[in-house]
Chains A and B, each alone.
Chain A
Amino acid sequence: MSTLDKLITNCLRRGIVTRSIEAKEYELLGAELKGLINRRFARSFNIREVDTGSCGACEAEIIAANNPLYDISRFGVNFVASPRHADALLVTGPVSKNMVLALKKTYEAMPEPKFVISCGDCAFDGGVFLNSYYVEGGISKVLPVAFHIPGCPPTPLEIIKKLLTVLNKL
């Protein structure tokens, strides 16, 4: 069998993996989120992610929200490569002094209307890094933050749940 044949057979055998996730709740939430994004954001809600000094675990969970099991993009949430394409900025980390300028510039590069979501406990107020000489102590010290996703790190399920409430309130 050629590699391509194998790939196709595998796909057929495996079926749609996204369904095998244990949390049924997730699919319901997703459907709701999708409806919301369809109405409010013309089917696609684009996020630009910035790390301002996270420990890396928050990033890993945001990546996990994009894996084939959670596959958040099928609900209309896309992570985009440029701030120019973004509706919202998702920011992790307590804001290291070195990232203040880059964070501001990324925000400025986004088209209006736009808003900021902070992600993870240390992005809220510095978390475990509070009182360090080199952190600003939360995203809200630098940019206006509309919403916060708590957790250290928040799980992919928590991320999507929070996104749902966020967009509902908008």
Chain B
Amino acid sequence: MEKFLTDLETNYKLKSIKQLKNHDNEFYVEVAAAQFNAYCLALHKTFISTVMTMFAEEQKDHFIIYCGFAAEKMAAWIFVVLKVDKNKPEFPSIARQIYAANLFEREMREMFGLEPTGNPDGRRLRLHDEVWPEGNFPLRKDFGKEKDKALGEYRFSKVDGEGIFEVPVGPVHAGIIGPGHFRFSVAGEPIINLEIRLGFTHRGIEKLLEGKTVNEAVKLSEAVSGVSSVAHSWAFCQAAEKICGIKVPRSANYTRAIYLELERMYNHLAAIGGIALDVGFSQPAALAAIIKEALHQLNEKLTGSRFLKGTNVIGGAAKKISSEEEKLIWGTFSSLAKDFAELKEMLSGSVSFLDRVDTTGWLRKKSAEDFGVLGLSGRASGINFDLRQGFMPPYDDLDFKIATATTGDVLARLNLRLEEFAASISIIKKLLNSLSAETILAAKIENRAGFGLGVVEGARGPVLYWVSLNKSGKIERCKIVDPSFRSWQGLSYAVLDNIIPDFPVCNKSFDLSYAGNDL
């Protein structure tokens, strides 16, 4: 990597101030403000990596901004680091060159009061203007009580023209679902613009994590997105374990991966059932719900939680999978195999259903790249990125291949989910076969100061936790990125030219998390 960076700097005429290697696969390159844009752009282009995470951290006399990229071939992470003076809290925006940075920059502005100079969109994401006065930056260390100042109002982008009308929906929706505001502009039937305003479930989790011990934080990480509790808590534990130099036994990682795949399976079924239901095809929807329930009941028997909460602890897994439990898993899988085959047949055998989902909600590869849409929705549009390939050790032992598609429509996302569901079963089988009697908890668990990144490919895509711990083992800063954060923008593009009645099915095919986005 060091050599790669030297070459990069000569090729692109770049200069760095300092380079730092952290743990085995994290590299931090500090640059001057004038070099920030060019450096990020060079990494973005050479790795073809989107901005995986971008965040700020407050130090005693300055802010630090990190912009993280994934170097897939080297299975490493590179962060471009920029120090920002407290008296002049601003940094050069890179959103004009790399659009995927846009939301992260807006996030830093509202949370830290750091101005991304050159970013054209000054609107806030989570701290809604109607309830949160300007000039209160919750992630600053000196943030105490909110100061009274005038409240404002959110500006929706407006589409004007003859015959164009707006359809506002939410935040409270008709179904049992999270809150979000969707504003459609339609000309006749087709949607010509969709603006999604989120943040309604903002709970201030990143701030809540500060000052907590790592053990306390695991529980909170499970509640970031409750239907991805394994992915989130694993990513957090991974980061903390890296920092503290804890060696997680192989069996523990296998156990974690088994739970992660179980989580992926029930999530995919929820989406598959939702897709069927939202076009009024209720029988497969019911069947998907039946299989999903069988999985929740299995989860409960295995871990005591239908959502696999409490399975990850710092240092490993909370509980071993016993041989009886192994039998239980095999049993459940063989009994759901028939139902699953039937579900597939029902979906693919109905011409009228296929007609509804084929070419509906098309997300072009280019748009997906621009927004940084990864995970399942990215793979459906031809972006072959999966952290399980190279970035997550337990999967290196399996000959694991990712499933991809290129068409990027509802059908592609549906088929990928069906494929990944089947793949998860075979992954779990392989993992179970190679589970050994080895312990599942690290022998030595101690606290250390430092920082590090934890990454997990959850059901919706990459979940990233960047954590910094102080000397007493408490959290100084924790940046969470749920894949939904970038993917919601993908949805707002995918629905263009579709009709509003097809919005629910497009939405379900992405199956994004409100809670994970809003933090």
Binding site for B on A (CB under 8 A): 3, 6-7, 10, 17, 22, 49-64, 66-70, 79, 81-82, 93-94, 96-102, 106, 122, 127-129, 131-135, 152-153, 155
Residue of A nearest to B351 (CB): A3
Q: Chain A residues near B222 (CB, 8 Å)?
A: 55
Give me 15 A-to-B residue pairs in the complex whose CB atoms sit less than 8 angstroms apart, sorted by A's number: A7-B346, A49-B176, A51-B178, A51-B179, A53-B518, A59-B176, A59-B177, A60-B227, A64-B293, A96-B203, A97-B128, A98-B171, A99-B179, A102-B200, A152-B223
- Asked if B289 contacts A67 (CB within 8 A), the reply is yes
Residue of A nearest to B146 (CB): A133
Besides A60-B226, A102-B172, A134-B203, 17 new A-B residue pairs in contact (Cβ under 8 A), listed by A number? A49-B176, A51-B201, A53-B203, A53-B518, A56-B227, A57-B226, A57-B227, A61-B306, A63-B176, A67-B293, A68-B290, A96-B201, A98-B200, A98-B201, A99-B200, A132-B203, A152-B223
Q: Chain B residues near A101 (CB, 8 Å)?
A: 130-131
Binding site for A on B (CB under 8 A): 126-128, 130-132, 138, 143, 146, 171-172, 174-179, 199-205, 207-208, 219-220, 222-227, 229, 270, 283, 286, 289-290, 292-293, 296-297, 300, 306-307, 309, 342, 345-346, 349-350, 513-516, 518
Given contacts A6-B346, A69-B293, A122-B223, contact A129 B178 (CB under 8 A): no
Q: Chain B residues near A58 (CB, 8 Å)?
A: 226
- Asked if A56 contacts B178 (CB within 8 A), the reply is yes
- Asked if A6 contacts B515 (CB within 8 A), the reply is no
Instruction: Give Cα A101–Cα B207 distance, bound, in whole angstroms.
Output: 23
Given contacts A7-B283, A10-B342, A56-B515, contact A132 B208 (CB under 8 A): yes
Q: Chain A residues near B171 (CB, 8 Å)?
A: 98-99, 102
Q: Chain A residues near B229 (CB, 8 Å)?
A: 55, 57
- Asked if A6 contacts B201 (CB within 8 A), the reply is no
Instruction: Give Cα A112–Cα B306 distance, bound, in whole angstroms.
Output: 36
Return the contact of A93 from the options B201, B208, B270 (Cβ within 8 A): B201
Q: Output the least CB separation between B509 and chain A (Å).
A: 17
Residue of A nearest to B139 (CB): A133
Return the contact of B286 from the options A54, A68, A106 (Cβ within 8 A): A68
Given contacts A55-B515, A81-B174, A153-B307, contact A135 B131 (CB under 8 A): no
Return the contact of A60 from the options B128, B143, B199, B307 (Cβ within 8 A): B307
